[in-house]
A and B are shown apart, each in its own frame.
Chain A
């Protein structure tokens, strides 16, 4: 029996934006404040899982046609590549670099290669979580 879950669907549409924005905020705040790649990735996948709960697997896959296995792999490659920058420059493995840059709209920003590593972590976490949930859920 299919019930009419209009309330759940409409609420999920609204709440998705808030969770997604908050996940990006947490992901970017990881250097000087609580947060980081792992929590941000988990929050992003929780926003996607909310959509999965409100709608179904096919709808979400047409919305976001992402192969999560490739996403996990690219995250691992990014993290490994960031870690091995120092090796090519004759420094130890995992040597990080940072500098101050002037970005448009934001102004003086400190950019750090740890951010790239964090992006790798983020991609791996989103990919692994979504892979697990989709393989358990799409069992038909």
Chain B
């Protein structure tokens, strides 16, 4: 992964030296050529192509935007309801993510989508305690988080 990015930069620099034009445009052209070459040689690298990881990151961003819109509309509906029949709850969610940055990212995404807030991370970083503003069914909420955000983050971090 990191080696592929380094190699891509190296190819871009070689391209700049070959064409002896040291501008950002020639660097970008060299970078594109390096991407193409790394794609051709994909079977010789251990691990995944870094380009697919970048694509997974883009997909995660798009998913976050979509969830942000939907959840905001949901909370707005809760607010303008004349009858206050929301049911707040704090529930625990087992997570399968291992690295610190993954857990931080997941917690930030959960907190930034309205209606749910991460209030605590357990000492072994395996359980997230989440406060939800209006929840019918804990299982379905856990499932929705697991199937959207956690899966997307795993897609990014899978080596």
Whether B100 pairs with A4 at a CB distance below 8 angstroms is no
Whether B125 pairs with A11 at a CB distance below 8 angstroms is no
Stretch at the interface among B63-71, B101-109, B150-158: B101-109
Q: Give A92 Cβ to nearest chain B Cβ, in Å.
A: 45
Interface size on A, residues (CB 8 A): 8
Whether A11 pairs with B104 at a CB distance below 8 angstroms is yes
A3 interface contact, C-beta 8 A = yes
Whether B121 pairs with A10 at a CB distance below 8 angstroms is no
B122 interface contact, C-beta 8 A = yes
- With the chains together, A58 CA to B101 CA distance in Å? 23
A 1-13 binary contact with B (CB < 8 Å = 1; else 0): 0011111011100
Whether B122 pairs with A4 at a CB distance below 8 angstroms is yes
Q: List the interface of chain B (C-beta within 8 A of A).
A: 100-101, 103-104, 107-108, 118, 120-125
Pick 24 A–B contacts, CB within 8 A, sort by A. A3-B120, A3-B123, A4-B120, A4-B121, A4-B122, A4-B123, A4-B124, A4-B125, A5-B121, A6-B100, A6-B103, A6-B104, A6-B121, A6-B125, A7-B103, A7-B104, A7-B108, A7-B118, A7-B121, A9-B100, A10-B100, A10-B101, A10-B104, A11-B104
